Amino acid sequence: MGIGTLAGIAIAAIAAIALLATNSDYGMFLPGLLEGTVLTLKIAVLGSLLAVAMGVLAALARLYGPAPLRWLATVYVEIFRGTSALVQLFWLFFVLPQFGLMMDALTVAILALGLNVGAYGSEVVRGAIQSVARGQWEATVALNMSPAQALRRIILPQAFVAMIPPWGNLFIELLKSTALVSLITLGDLTFKAQQMNQATLKTVPIFTLVLLIYLVMSLVITIFMRLLERRASRGLARGRAA
């Protein structure tokens, strides 16, 4: 599906929200839901930044780090990939205080979701780096580049293009996982919807708006990642031509 089509769907979803807001049965809930949306976006953005950082660091450590770093990176990836994001969220919020380490709910949400998605992302980064043709490494040796220079100038720019689509999927998964943070008292979009539903029993208008809001956010992520992929591909093509 092209970027234009995705943008059209996003605009249609926004128009649907605006149209529904003119109906009193829907409009009365929109301000509160938008307030929750701001917190959802904050968690998603900060969690995504942490996920990318952890994914890249863990992948590089497993591929090129000394044995202790490789071991630590593997332990991190297997723990956060092999256990539920909900359990990780609860463990950081309810269990760590038993050991004297207390964090506010927002910090816990960003850490849990960022570390969880970062573990999956590390495999994306590792696979993308390993997919670069062996001849590229041999060329860097012929050019007398150090391993760090080879990674920065030759390998990572090529691997980056291959990483973008799976990272886009992971960002959307992280966005949807923010619904879990309502279970540790954060007033995100899902938490606001549940509160309103319990108070009014207006399930249809509330969760119709929630569905459309999540759809718009997911489409924005998809469009951004498609544009980034297109730009990175063009830059790589120009580099090869040069």
For the ranges 76-90, 112-126, 145-159, which has the lowest average pLDDT? 145-159
Residue 232 predicted with pLDDT over 90: no
Q: At what angle do helices 67-82 and 105-131 cross, to 10 degrees?
A: 120
Residue 116 predicted with pLDDT over 60: yes
Higher pLDDT, 4 or 240: 4
> How far apart are alpha carbons 112 and 220 in whole angstroms?
23
For the ranges 36-40, 55-59, 152-156, which has the lowest average pLDDT? 152-156
pLDDT of residue 237: 54
pLDDT of residue 150: 78
Three-state DSSP at 66 gives: coil
From 135, 136, 142, select the one nearest 155 (Cα to Cα). 136
Number of domains observed in the structure of the chain: 1
Read off the pLDDT band of 159 (50, 70, 90): confident
% of the chain surpassing 90 pLDDT: 74
Q: Say which DSSP state 8 is in.
A: H
Read off the pLDDT band of 188 (50, 70, 90): very high
% of the chain surpassing 70 pLDDT: 95
Average pLDDT over residues 165-170: 94
pLDDT of residue 236: 58
pLDDT of residue 96: 92
Residue 242 predicted with pLDDT over 60: no
| CATH number of the domain residue 165 falls in | 1.10.3720.10
Q: What is the residue range of 225's domain?
A: 3-241
Per-range mean pLDDT, top range of 42-46, 128-132, 136-140 = 42-46
pLDDT of residue 20: 95
From 176, 239, 232, 221, select the one nearest 10 (Cα to Cα). 221
> How far apart are alpha carbons 21 and 29 in whole angstroms?
8
Q: What is the pLDDT of residues 76-100, one digit of tens each?
A: 999 999 999 999 999 999 999 999 8
Structure tokens at 96: 């760590």
For the ranges 3-7, 48-52, 115-119, 153-157, which has the lowest average pLDDT? 153-157
